[in-house]
Amino acid sequence: MKTIKTSNPKGMRDLITSKMILREYILDIMKGTFEKYGFGPISTPAMENIETLNGKYGDEGDRLIFKVLKSGNFFSEYDSEEDQLNYKKIATKISDKALRYDLTVPLARFVSQHRNEIIFPFKRYQIQNVWRADRPQKGRFREFMQCDVDIIGSKSLFPEIELIQLVDEIFNKLSIQNVKIYINHRKVLMSMIDHMGVSDKFNDIVILIDKIDKLGIRTVEKEMRRVGVSDAGMKIFNKFRNADSISKISNIFTESDIGFEGINELIFIQKVIKEIGLQSSELVFDISLARGIDYYTGSIFEVKQNDISIGSIAGGGRYDDLTSLFGFNDVSGVGISFGIDRIFYLMDDFKLFPDDIGSSTDVLFLNLGLEESVHVLKMIKKMRNLGIASELYPNMDKVKKQMSYADRKGIKFVAIVGEDEIKCNKISLKNMNTGEQYMHSFNDFLKDLQK
């Protein structure tokens, strides 16, 4: 038999149990909190029709989408003369589905498609994998998990406030300290760029502002000049940059500015958050926060933990027109996306996972022979009925090997039930942390467990 080499596709990974348990810990806290805030789960298929995804993520995005071959004779529409080995053209003929690239476009498709079943304002969360044919690098994978929360169908600012509270509560529960929630507003940015005299270059300027962290302010200023910002424009830009609070910026705008609306929204959000209070995060206004994605139209967020240079651990914003792509107009939404992988690495690095989430099993019963094991199975049944995770070691291996299994699996207690114990219905329990071993009456032991 030919042996196949065992490996994952490039940039994709397995999760062994010890990692999965930690990730589940994060996800359980997230789900629990989402539901406490009234969000419900949905799921969408891994694949979307290719026309649902194409053109939504720019040229680079299109290139990074994994395309799935048509089933059956996918090559029937290929025409060697017409297609002339142009692979992009060929792809559209041999592939009609693709793997989702994010959860936002599928959400827009979902909301449009199910508009008659959905209860609006629609509060949903979605935790699923997405796939991107990116160059893999440390912490960046071709398959990764996204966790999105959105409120769709409300133009009020309470959804923004709820999302800020949600972010605060989740990172507090995960014991991640020093979290800053940066906030800005697309309309404020629009106004600023207008004042700078380059409103026709909005997207270029936004992308540059978004890169200040990466490229440094000097490079960005140089690039801005190249895009067409004048001396006067640069001066205005720096005036905005140096205004470290919302109120200082609000003085710059007149009521006729589009930024006036944005700044007032920020002031309201900030005021209410201050009144309610956050648990451990801080809400910080940041005029340099831009978020490159072009569907945002209102408030934008980015969440960072600044003790570690891992980039943002969550981010999002308000979009007024996402579903109109699918023929469903005038539906405003706001959402935030949590970076599960980054949160995982951060928690691993800072050792923030509780100690007691290592193993699922409380008690391992040693296998000392056929007869003993059958007796033990009856004990295990009673313990499981009381909710105690317990298992019989299946093989009659040497005791040392069985103990090592318990040790490596992080099991708290090893139970030994041999001939003597069976005779008087007892159980010997060894505490794997302290090494102590005691013999108990099994019935007393059960009673203790029930307490």
User: Counting beta carbons within 10 angstroms of the beta carbon of residue 204, is it exposed (0 to 12), middle (13 to 18) or buried (19 or more)?
Assistant: middle
Question: What would the two tokens of residue 38 be?
Answer: 């009234």
Q: How far is the CB of 49 from its own copies (least distance, A)?
A: 6
Q: How far is the CB of 288 from its own copies (least distance, A)?
A: 29
- Residue 185 binds its own copies (CB under 8 A): no
**CB neighbours of 295 closer than 8 A, spacing ≥ 6?**
104, 319, 321, 322
- 3-state SS string for 48-95: EEHHHHCCCCHHHHHHHCCEEECCCCHHHHCCHHHHCCCHHHHHHHHE
Cβ atoms 357, 21 nearer than 8 A: yes
Q: Looking at 48-56, 205-213, 216-224, 236-244, which segment touches its own copies (CB under 8 A)? A: 48-56
Residue in the structure block whose two tokens are 């609006």: 120
- Residue 79 binds its own copies (CB under 8 A): no
- Residue 353 binds its own copies (CB under 8 A): no
Q: Looking at 61-69, 253-261, 291-299, 443-451, which segment touches its own copies (CB under 8 A)? A: 61-69
Q: Between residue 149 and residue 168, which ones bind its own copies under the rule CB under 8 A?
A: 151, 154-156, 158-159, 161-162, 165
DSSP secondary structure of 250-261? HTT--TTSHHHH
Scanning 277-367, the segments in alpha helix (DSSP H) are 340-349
Q: Between residue 417 and residue 446, which ones bind its own copies under the rule CB under 8 A?
A: none
Q: How far is the CB of 164 from its own copies (least distance, A)?
A: 11
Closest CA relative to residue 369, chosen from 406, 420, 404, 418 = 418
Cβ atoms 14, 8 nearer than 8 A: yes
- Residue 247 binds its own copies (CB under 8 A): no
From 26, 99, 229, 314, residue interacting with its own copies (rule: CB under 8 A): 99
Q: Looking at 68-76, 181-189, 284-292, 440-448, which segment touches its own copies (CB under 8 A)? A: 68-76
- Residue 335 binds its own copies (CB under 8 A): no
Q: How far is the CB of 15 from its own copies (least distance, A)?
A: 4
179 or 289: CB nearest its own copies: 179
205 or 273: CB nearest its own copies: 273
Q: Between residue 264 and residue 293, which ones bind its own copies under the rule CB under 8 A?
A: 272, 275-277
- Residue 39 binds its own copies (CB under 8 A): yes
Cβ atoms 343, 156 nearer than 8 A: no
Closest CA relative to residue 319, chosen from 292, 295, 291, 289 = 295
Residues in the chain: 451
Q: Between residue 358 and residue 387, which ones bind its own copies under the rule CB under 8 A?
A: 359-361, 364, 367, 373-374, 377-378, 381, 384, 387
Q: How far is the CB of 163 from its own copies (least distance, A)?
A: 11
Q: Looking at 183-191, 222-230, 388-396, 442-450, which segment touches its own copies (CB under 8 A)? A: 388-396
Kindly report the backbone phi and psi dihedral angles of residue 251, in degrees, each rounded to the nearest multiple of 5, phi listed first: -65, -30
Q: Between residue 190 and residue 229, which ones bind its own copies under the rule CB under 8 A?
A: none
- Residue 9 binds its own copies (CB under 8 A): yes
> Rounded CA gap, 308 and 344, in Å?
13
From 25, 29, 62, 64, residue interacting with its own copies (rule: CB under 8 A): 64
- Site size toward its own copies (CB under 8 A) is 116
From 30, 90, 163, 220, residue interacting with its own copies (rule: CB under 8 A): 90
Q: Between residue 108 and residue 137, which ones bind its own copies under the rule CB under 8 A?
A: 109-110, 112-114, 117-121, 123-124, 129, 131, 133
Question: What would the two tokens of residue 303 be?
Answer: 């969440």
Residue 64: HSE in the Cβ half-sphere, 13 Å Cα cutoff: 20
Element (H, E) at 245: none
